[in-house]
Amino acid sequence: MMAAEATERRHIISVLVENQFGVLARIASLFTGKGFNIDSLTVAETLDPGLSRMTVVTHGNVAVIEQTCKQLNKLVDVVRVTDLTDEPHVEREMVLIKVNAESSHRGEIIQIVEVFRSRVVDVAPRTLTVEMTGDEGKITALVNMLRPYGVVDVVRTGKVAIGRGNHAVVRESAGDSVAAG
């Protein structure tokens, strides 16, 4: 194996699945059973209520990612697997940050929030809750900026992603594996 192939990389994989009882369990059990990593996983219904989309962020070397995609494809409930990593795509994540905000600091915090184009969604006597959507780097930057004030809690959704341009990830053509040779 060449060095580049052996290096681990982060991948973002879009998985279209039947919106059915037990599908999430099947996918989760595949990842644990085969020893694949899940960094984050989101799932929700698509335009077609019969289908759900999962966005899985995972990491591994080329061979591991190829096996991950193939094994996902092998599940009967999986309609389509697309590795978006090297495709032009947009990825977003939402975060909710609860930060200590004594009145002396409130102004500064709100300024930071504005610079990041995020917003305050809850105000309490000693805390503010901030919501932001963005890519990973931006979210991490915001969390780092707020840290000095005392971050009480952070909840992130995990990533969702969509291909750029006219091309849809959901197409009616099913079953043909993107990763298969």
Partner 1 sequence: MKLKGCDILIEALKKQGVETIFGYSGGAALHIFDALYKFNDAHKEDGIQFVMTRQEAGATHAADGYARVTGKAGVVLVTSGPGATNCVTGIATAQMDSIPMVVITGQVPSNLIGNDAFQETDFVGVTRPIVKHSYLVHHVEDLARVVREAFHIAETGRPGPVLIDFPKDVQIAETEWEWPETVDIRGYKPKLDGHRRQVRRAADLIMQAQRPLVYGGGGIVLGDASPEFREFVWKTQIPTTVTLMGLGALPETDPLALKMPGMHGSRAANYAFQDCDLIIAVGSRFDDRVTGKLEKFAPNAKIIHIDIDPSAISKNVHVDIPIVGHVKRVLPMLTEMVDKTDVDAWRHQCAMWKERYPFRFEPKTDVIKPQQVIEEIWDITRGDAILATDVGQHQMWAGQHYQHIEPRRWLTSGGLGTMGYGMPAALGAQLAAPDDLVVCISGDGSIMMNIQELATLATEKLNVKTVILNNNWLGMVRQWQELLYEERYSASDLHDNPDFARIADAFGVKGMRISHPDELRPALDEAFAHDGPVVMDVMVDEMENVYPMVPAGAALDEMVGGLA
Which range in 15-23, 95-103, 119-127, 153-161 contacts partner 1 by CB under 8 A? 15-23
- Of positions 21, 35, 49, 107, contacts partner 1 by CB under 8 A: 21
Residue 105, SS3?
Answer: helix
Residue that has been written with the tokens 């009145």 in this structure: 103
d(CA 68, CA 61): 11
Residues 6 or more apart in contact with residue 71 via CB below 8 angstroms: 30, 34, 36
Query: Which residues ranging from 43 to 72 are in contact with partner 1 (CB under 8 A)?
Result: 63, 66-67, 70-71
Which range in 92-100, 111-119, 135-143, 172-180 contacts partner 1 by CB under 8 A? 172-180
By CB under 8 A, tell whether 18 contacts partner 1: yes
By CB under 8 A, tell whether 174 contacts partner 1: yes
Which run of H or E residues covers position 120? strand 119-123
Q: Pick the closer one to partner 1 by CB: 100 or 177.
A: 177
Minimum gap (Å) between residue 119 Cβ and partner 1: 40
By CB under 8 A, tell whether 101 contacts partner 1: no
Which range in 21-29, 96-104, 150-158, 159-167 contacts partner 1 by CB under 8 A? 21-29
Task: Give the C-alpha distances (Å, rounded to integers) separating 19 from 44, 50, 82, 100, 166.
Answer: 9, 5, 17, 40, 25
d(CA 105, CA 172): 53
Minimum gap (Å) between residue 41 Cβ and partner 1: 17
Binding site for partner 1 (CB under 8 A): 1, 17-18, 21-22, 25-26, 29, 33, 63, 66-67, 70-71, 73-80, 174-177, 179-181
